[in-house]
Structure 1
Amino acid sequence: MTLLVGDVDQMYGTKVLTSFTLYPGKAYIEIRGQLYNRTPLPQTFLWWANPAVSVNEYTQSIFPPDVHTVYDHGKRAVSRFPIAKGEYYKHDYSEGVDISRYKNIPVPTSYMAETSKYDFVGGYDYKKEAGLLHVADHHFSPGKKQWTWGCGEFGKAWDRNLTDEDGPYIELMTGVYTENQPDFSWLKPFEEKVFTQYFMPYKKVGAVKNASIHAALNLELTCQKAKIVVYATEEYADAEIVMEQNGTVLLLSGLHCVWRW
């Protein structure tokens, strides 16, 4: 089932067609964007998907494991991630604070990943044991962002103004052809760009370490033991979990497992 939404920019003439598709037996929504410059002149565009995600004291923003630095808008400020150790958005985090946790951010705050070679970003509620992931090829969709009004009185007042009874939320934003805001991208004269993004639910996984439209995976290593959790978006009757270390296939809980360093 597909829903089509289209429009033409009245100022610059750019034509946009967006399709939202659900597939039988698959637990994700596909978003396909088409941008077409109908003019003989170069035109700019800015594309960020922007779902609002319910949050609470148990919520964590799940960025890929190679994200160690985040920026605000225009890269005016920078912070280590997930443990901030300096001033960010005029708030002192010098004691070392995990800003991936909603409860630890007291003021309105944006952060965008500096760079990542992974194709996912998302959020997870440890009380509900469930979350939301965005999946798209990072070569054209590098933008990975969280925005929150903050878990303070100012932010909670805005939550009351902007929601009915849903409570606080974050904006889990994903950018195409840009990694920061408001960095615009270009369409050459008569150029068309086509791209695909996916949003998918998952549960019982925890802090995702990698994901595709087929599955979300978490790997945690403690005391020489490995805990693997995989959540698939469709049924795979003959699936195996394979873990490999230095080319050697290991066995874990009766499943083939792969350990890569």
Structure 2
Amino acid sequence: MKQFNINFQIIALLSIIVIGCDKMDVSISEETRSIKTYPFSDPNPIPMLVKDNRLYPYHSFDGYSHEGKSQEWKVLKLENPFIEVTVLPEVGGKVWGAIDKSNGEEFIYRNEVMKFRNIALRGPWTSGGIEFNFGVIGHTPSTATPVDYTTRTNSDGSVSVIVGSMDLPSRTHWRVEINLQKDRSSFETKALWYNPTAHTQPYYNWMTAAAFARDDLEVVFPGNQYLKHSGEVKSWPVDNKGRDLSFYDNNRFEGHKSYHVVGEQKDFFGGYYHDAEYGFGHWAPYEEMPGQKLWLWALSRQGGIWEDLLTDTDGQYIEFQAGRQFVQFSSSDHVNPIKKAGFEPHSSDSWSETWFPLKGTGGMDEASSLGAMGVKKEGDVIRVKVHSFKEKKGEVEVFSDGRKLLEEKVSFYPMVLKDFSVSVLGKKSYEVKVNELNLHYRSDRQSLRLKRPFSTDSEVLAGVP
């Protein structure tokens, strides 16, 4: 009987451990953290109507502190064995940052201080994380103030933070669910935005994410052109002076830069640090999120001033932004087909996006919601490096000239790199497929080019008064 009791206790203890480990696969928690904060003033009692009639009935905040002090903030943390995501419900509901636990790298830049400065529509704004912009224009009025939030454990075992608010000028309502599954090295944001009014409202949505600005950074924005805020089209990635603008270090000219990249039907964009061998990315169906924007502070003292103003020790950052429209349009004398869209009465929109880290791929040449890969041809050898976000069994296939050059069965695991090489003669085009991860790379980029014009025909232009 004693032996039975001992065995029973051991079995019970093991059961508790197993159940506990299963529950610990993914977790969500709420805590209060003391963060160095440079606060802003109470609101100006005069509504913003006198300065910007688009923003009534909001008030502005006009005073900013030069001295930081400790302040307590609510922090929501979502965590699984692969990544950690933090959210700030009292600062617009923004994602504060995200970390790849395999190497400790931040694939979403987290600013360790709350250094509010006069940048947003109402004034105060902090850099870093992922900012959710809905309404008239960015940076949205709620970006530095508390929003509604709730946390949830879902029936599929995943965990979620849901943040949201109402945009007062338009009376539209927005919600964003930040969702983390237990078996993925990526997280998802699911947006819902609706217009309950009987009037057409302004339609502006951009998800503004931040990453570290470093000299070894190559940004990956598939396309052959970029649009200025006015809709004017320019060459990408190589400009008219032969500079490859996709390399951060090649942007050491002129001032701050906005590149709304267009011209290729791809669902992903992001960046890769070649010296550090890691990167970051975003995926969403192109038909849902065609906007892919890169923002850079000037690589001179003009931008360095803002590094000093916005952070203490975290350094400069870039923004990789995903939008529902091609460009953050601002009208000018330039005539082109790009225009602002309106939010139809009694209508709603919803969409989802995936955010992920990269490691060891050498770049990002293809990505999906399940994985990413770097593909390079050096001489007669094709090198394929596949990074899965989820455990999967599949095949890596390489094709050229109607022949299958490689077919290899693979067991994929999150954050575990798979590396393949195959020889191919000459300069013939080739394709790489990993069907189970929805990855399909084509070396012939012309097949992916969009024929949509982003400039106005000269004959039409001649008739414009």
| Shared fold (TM-score, shorter chain, > 0.5) | yes
Moved more, 47-56 or 246-255: 246-255
- Distance of 1:240 and 1:231 partners within structure 2: 13
- Distance of 1:142 and 1:7 partners within structure 2: 24
- Distance of 1:102 and 1:181 partners within structure 2: 22
CA deviation after TM superposition for structure 1 residue 116, in Å: 2.3
Segments of structure 2 that go 5 or more residues without pairing to the other structure are 1-158, 330-338, 410-419, 423-428, 432-443, 445-465
Correspondence for 1:213 among 353, 357, 369: 369
| Equivalent position amino acid for 2:382 in 1 | A
| Equivalent position amino acid for 1:98 in 2 | D
Equivalent residue for 1:194?
A: 350
- Distance of 1:247 and 1:256 partners within structure 2: 18
Within-5 A mapping of 1:219-258: 219-236=375-392, 238-251=393-406
Change (3 A) 1:253 1:233: closer
Deviation string 1:146-198 (CA, Å, 9 cap, x unpaired) is 1111222211221121122111110111112x010135433222111111111
Contact in 2 for aligned 1:15/1:37 (Cα 8 Å): yes
Change (3 A) 1:27 1:185: farther
- Distance of 2:216 and 2:384 partners within structure 1: 21
Matching of residue 80 in structure 1 with residue 249 in structure 2:
no
CA deviation after TM superposition for structure 1 residue 57, in Å: 0.8
Within-5 A mapping of 1:118-157: 118-157=266-305
Within-5 A mapping of 1:170-181: 170-176=318-324, 178-181=325-328
Equivalent residue for 2:129?
A: none
Moved more, 184-193 or 45-54: 184-193
Equivalent residue for 1:6?
A: 164
| Equivalent position amino acid for 1:244 in 2 | F
Equivalent residue for 2:117?
A: none
Matching of residue 111 in structure 1 with residue 259 in structure 2:
yes
- Distance of 2:202 and 2:401 partners within structure 1: 47
CA deviation after TM superposition for structure 1 residue 222, in Å: 2.2
Moved more, 138-147 or 247-256: 247-256
Structure 1: which 4+ aligned runs deviate by more than 3 Å? 252-259
- Distance of 2:353 and 2:345 partners within structure 1: 25
SS in 2 for 1:195: strand
Contact in 1 for aligned 2:384/2:421 (Cα 8 Å): no
Change (3 A) 1:203 1:256: closer
Equivalent residue for 1:34?
A: 192
Deviation string 1:16-44 (CA, Å, 9 cap, x unpaired) is 11111011010111111111111112222
Matching of residue 259 in structure 1 with residue 444 in structure 2:
no
SS in 2 for 1:161: helix
Aligned length: 247
Change (3 A) 1:74 1:108: same
Equivalent residue for 1:90?
A: none
Matching of residue 98 in structure 1 with residue 244 in structure 2:
yes
